[in-house]
Chain A
Amino acid sequence: AQRVTQPEKLLSVFKGAPVELKCNYSYSGSPELFWYVQYSRQRLQLLLRHISRESIKGFTADLNKGETSFHLKKPFAQEEDSAMYYCALSGRGTYKYIFGTGTRLKVLA
């Protein structure tokens, strides 16, 4: 079955601490993985995608096909990182798009 799992509903960290938001997936084909973010009172927006291998706002994510994971990491959390984060999967060659249930990140001062 195609599935995206985000095991943590809420993650609280202190400002300056490292952050890791977990994402595991189940997909039989070749997946494309994404992270979306929704700040308070703002729209859902793309944060980064694995094919770009980019760092956005200090966040990075590496696709680990062996562990079927795509964890989002940032070495030093900032208060403005507080938001809802969704991991999403799309099947290469398909038009399917699957979101995880999201993790709320709270960065404490």
Chain B
Amino acid sequence: EAGVAQSPRYKIIEKRQSVAFWCNPISGHATLYWYQQILGQGPKLLIQFQNNGVVDDSQLPKDRFSAERLKGVDSTLKIQPAKLEDSAVYLCASSLRLLAGNEETQYFGPGTRLLVL
């Protein structure tokens, strides 16, 4: 079974530029998550999708971050414009389905490491 795929693996941009990350979840997984992991910290959940609908985006900085999951499969996370503090690893995860309490196992991708100069 192929795992969660993410691209690019690394990205370096200057502040105020835009950047987009792509995630392809495990086939058949209804739920997709985007996390931000700043160096020295644990992953922070930004947004959850159930199929192509947003379940929770309460921690997504909506003034500059956006995410979509068209057709309920692949997802993109965009930052526009980027700030220095956005430098982090962006992790995508998927699970078979969403249960309240998140008991479903999340499978993580390799992450995209973003450096904003």
Contact = CB atoms under 8 A, between A and B. Distances in A.
A43 B42 CA distance: 14
The SS class assigned to the B binding surface is: loop
A96 interface: yes
A45 B103 contact: no
User: What's the interface size class on B, roughly?
Assistant: 20 to 34
Contacts, number: 54
Contacts of B33: 97
Contacts of A101: 40-42
B56 interface: yes
B100 interface: yes
Nearest to B89: A44
Interface residues of A, number: 23
Contacts of B24: none
Interface stretch (B13-21, B65-73, B79-87, B104-112): B104-112
Interface of B: 3-4, 33, 40-45, 48, 55-56, 91, 93, 98, 100-103, 105-111
Interface of A: 4, 32, 43-46, 49, 51, 86, 88, 90-102
